[in-house]
Structure 1
Amino acid sequence: MSDQPTAEHTLEGDERALQRLRELRGSIDNLDAALVHLLAERFKCTQQVGELKAAHDLPPADPAREAAQISRLRRLAEDARLDPAFAEKFLNFIIDEVVRHHRAIAARPQQAGGNPR
């Protein structure tokens, strides 16, 4: 347990600031939940891409697509006033995970009745 005081403890007595802190944290919690759900939906789509790639002997990674997406995301980040370097790191993390999933899908034995490789 940390010996440092919490923000809520420090703001005791300043009810307006404490209420605002709680409101902001509630918004952050809601945004975190939305991000998790959006990422889950994204990975459902990339799972299907991985299945399609495996069925057609396509490589798990697509460096040209990845570079285009990183460039696109950097522009979006700039427009949103988000640090483009952070946005790129975030997307690279996601891409690495997607490619890992695609490799795992490609390594699975082909199921009977599926498309031949």
Structure 2
Amino acid sequence: MSEVPPELVELRRSIDNIDAALIHLLAERFKATQTVGELKARLRMPPADPGREERQVARLRTLAEESGLDPVFAEKFLAFVIAEVIHHHEQIAEAGQD
């Protein structure tokens, strides 16, 4: 097995740090959306807000384009996150009805 070039080691270290930051940011985002879900349940609001979701998708597509990230990928990623948030909000609302 050949030795890994130092440049590759450094790039991988950078990627690992970015991955860790992404996980921490997602955790913070889900903590905030958990609180939103609890508030919505208490106020008997629906778990989903299609208007807000549409605005978020448009905003993040623009940010992706400005950042040189494929906006289609950004939209798919956000759709996955939003679907998970809505699922959590539905669970919170159901638990509040018990």
- Higher Cα radius of gyration: 1
Task: Tell me the equivalent position of 2:37.
Answer: 50
Task: Tell me the equivalent position of 2:47.
Answer: 60
Match of 2:65 among 69, 78, 84: 78
4+ aligned runs moved over 3 Å, structure 1: none
Distance, in Å, in 2 between the alignment partners of 1:55 and 1:31 is: 36
Distance, in Å, in 2 between the alignment partners of 1:49 and 1:84 is: 26
Task: Tell me the equivalent position of 1:26.
Answer: 13
Structure 1: which 5+ residue stretches go unaligned?
1-8, 112-117
Q: Secondary structure at the match of 1:57?
A: coil
Task: Tell me the equivalent position of 1:36.
Answer: 23
Q: CA RMSD in A?
A: 1.5
Count of residue pairs brought into register by the alignment: 98
- Structure scoring higher RCO (CA < 8 A, sep ≥ 6) equals 2
Superposition pairs of residues 97-116 of structure 1, within 5 angstroms: 97-109=84-96
Percent of paired sites with the same residue: 61
Distance, in Å, in 2 between the alignment partners of 1:40 and 1:109 is: 23
Map Cα deviations across residues 22-76 of structure 1 (whole Å, 9 max, x no partner).
0000000000000000000000000000000000000000000000000000000
**Structure 2-normalised TM-score?**
0.95
Once the two structures are TM-superposed, the CA of residue 109 in structure 1 deviates from its matched residue by 3.4
**Structure 1-normalised TM-score?**
0.80
